[in-house]
Amino acid sequence: MIKESQMKRLPLFFYYFQKSLLFVAVFFFYSGCQNGVENEAEIASLPISISFDRFDLQFYNQEPEVIPGLKKKYPYLFPKQFSDSVWIARQKDSLQLLLQNAVQEVFEDITPLEDELTHLFKHINYHFPQTKIPQVVTLTNNVDYQIKTVYSDSLVLLSLDTFLGADHELYEGIPSYIRKELDQKFIASQLAEKFGAYVIPPVEDRTFLAQMLYEGKKMYLQDLLLPHELETTKAAYTEEELNWVKENELYIWQYFVERQVLYKTDPELVQRFLEPAPFSKFYLQLDNESPGRVGRWIGWQIVRSFVRQNPEINTEELLRMPTQKLFNLSKYKPKR
């Protein structure tokens, strides 16, 4: 049985979418290189450019007369059950204007972010050539950090008021483990993860191992689509948290194996090790030293191990591969 003492101690949208978007998954995948670094010159030369459609600027600090035109242009942002009086009131609401003013201050120059998303969608187009280049619409969404981004096959909604910076005064009262991701440096990685959820087939079973590998596939797509991004940004970890999971990878894995949780279907395991949280719940004294979502980290390492063992694999086959086959072929064995 793993003992706690074995663990190494380190220093320590605008509107909540009322109208569902229909997703039609695209699974015509490119079988090119897997390391995400080769062919960068070819990827950079792709004729793709992302520009933001600033709905937030078109709606706020404007006269009510603009609303009919906006409803026609953005029908998905105006649920039909609400009259124009609701939107007129929203235009003048002091809290909404406070949020919009903060957005304009932080995102005064949107060009670097447009360049970053152009880089992302060039990689998406290279590896998934049938994917449409979406329209990117920016808005404010009452700092709803559960819906910071929305991705469909032709549309991206980006709630800029959820990316003002972890220390922004408007985020006072939000738990620190959530607040740390409310920064624009996470926009590309969060969109890559949303894209992963869009193209990766849902898991066929509810075992903890299957849930880990599903999350691991999404993380591996970040390796493929954002090859130059820092691991801390992909995982949304601090340097200390990243060091902790790297130093304790073996012991985390031993815990999962010795407690025989890999093939359990208890939803509590997802809450303890896969969902966002201030720390992971081993129910040991060291819990407060651990970052959240260590199960996602392990799933990521298993998929990376699989790719190292099977470099010829193409993306389609990897994303569709059943849990047990991928796990067996990964030969995952963390080192001490």
Of 28-42, 64-78, 145-159, 210-224, least confident by mean pLDDT is 28-42
Query: What is the predicted pLDDT for the residue at 21?
Result: 36
- For 241-289, write each residue's pLDDT tens digit: 999 999 999 999 999 999 999 999 999 999 999 999 999 999 998 899 9
Query: What is the predicted pLDDT for the residue at 38?
Result: 57
Task: Provide, rounded to the nearest whole percent, the portion of the chain with pLDDT above 70.
Answer: 89
| Euclidean distance between CA atoms 170 and 161, whole angstroms | 9
Residue type, 10: L
- For 152-163, write each residue's pLDDT tens digit: 889 999 999 999
Decide if pLDDT at 1 tops 50.
no
Tokens 């390391």 correspond to 35
CA 33, 35, 39: angle at the middle one, nearest 5?
55
Cα separations in angstroms, 80 against 54, 65, 84, 138, 140: 22, 18, 10, 21, 19
| Euclidean distance between CA atoms 78 and 18, whole angstroms | 9
Place 39 in a pLDDT band, splitting at 50, 70 and 90: confident
* φ and ψ of 180, to 5 deg: -65, -20
Query: What is the predicted pLDDT for the residue at 286?
Result: 85
Query: What is the predicted pLDDT for the residue at 335?
Result: 84
